[in-house]
Amino acid sequence: MNRLRNVVVRWETGLVLLIVLVMVVGQWADGDLMSSFNLQTTALNSVVLLCLALGLAPVIMTSDIDLSVVGTLALVGVVIGDLTAHGTNTWLAIAIGLAISLVCGLVNGLLVVLFDLPALAVTLGTMGAYTGFSFLILKGLAISTFPSVIVSMGSSNVTGTQIPFAVVLLVVFAAILSFVMHGTVFGKSVFAIGGSRKAALFSGIAVNRVRITTFVISGLMAGIAGLLFLGNYETAQAGMGASELLPAVTAVILGGVSAYGGTGTIPGVVLAAALLALLQSALGLHNFSGEGQTMAIGFLLIIAIGLPPLSQKFKDWRRRRNASPVTFANAVSGSSEEGK
């Protein structure tokens, strides 16, 4: 019975139920929501969101934040687009772009960790810097012609199916990251740091190295998101992908990762990204503007942040309410003795 209760109350189970609810209500309101064409389009549009969310998750699990992911996405996309436009080998251009994403993540990690600066302020600043570099490279212009390899990565289907190749690639990335975060020493260290940085340090965890590594992972995933953005939308311009920051952060928090660090799962992040993609698609089919969709996602983020502490307060209230007077008195007496 306890095992069944644990499954029912898991955060991920709630996300699955919400996905089903959106599917049922959306299909009832508009018969096109669950059509194969719309599902394929929705999956393609969710690739960049999921890629950014997977990179952000380990950072937020350590109680840090990385707002620069959209700046890294734009810089990598612009660099790859500019290099290929000038005749550089496609694979070399991709390698250079992803190397830049690693450097961007490393810079964030070094500034935050080694100089003990607030991650919010640092990554907000580097977001502006990386976006600014992309403006300098293209000088306000845009690139809309790319090699077939890049276009295939972002928009083609797996041979013989209607499943986008980029979606399969992201599922593989999610599986690898899930194993790393939930089945390795590194993942346990991330959760320990998010729970208590000081306790993790005293337990022998290389706190600085782990935190820097999470920023590098975030940078790399943002670079991959930039590459997939090029293939899907076939455009490279400064500031591209800026609208993906709010949905990406929302997917992480809505997926069960605590904004204070220390908890969360990668499968939860994947489910939350799928939920957001379906919700945006349903709203789009009903002619909701981009601003309306952003407002809905903003409300979801606030709810996702506020729900866990409210739930904990409710549990504490029920525990106090159900406790017998003798037990409550003993607890108060015990705490008084400890105070002495």
CA distance 60 to 55: 9
Q: Check if the beta carbon of residue 131 is closer than 8 Å to that of residue 238.
A: yes
How far, in Å, CA of 157 to CA of 134, rounded?
30
**What's the rounded Cα separation, in Å, for the pair 61 and 51?**
16
Residue 120: CB atoms within 10 A of its CB come to: 13
For residue 158, what is the DSSP state? P
pTM: 0.87
Q: Give me the residues paired with residue 209 across strands.
A: none
Q: How far apart are CA 299 and CA 257, in angstroms?
A: 17
By CB atoms closer than 10 A (0-12, 13-18, 19+), residue 132 is: middle
User: pLDDT 10s per residue in the chain (340 long)?
Assistant: 444 344 444 778 888 988 898 888 888 877 778 888 888 888 888 899 999 999 999 999 999 999 999 999 999 999 999 999 999 999 999 999 999 999 999 999 999 999 999 999 999 999 999 999 999 998 888 898 889 999 988 888 888 788 889 999 999 999 999 999 999 999 999 999 999 999 999 999 999 999 999 999 999 999 999 999 999 998 899 889 888 999 999 999 999 898 888 889 999 999 999 999 998 888 888 777 777 878 888 888 888 787 766 766 766 777 777 775 555 455 545 544 444 4
**CB distance 221 to 54 below 8 Å:** yes
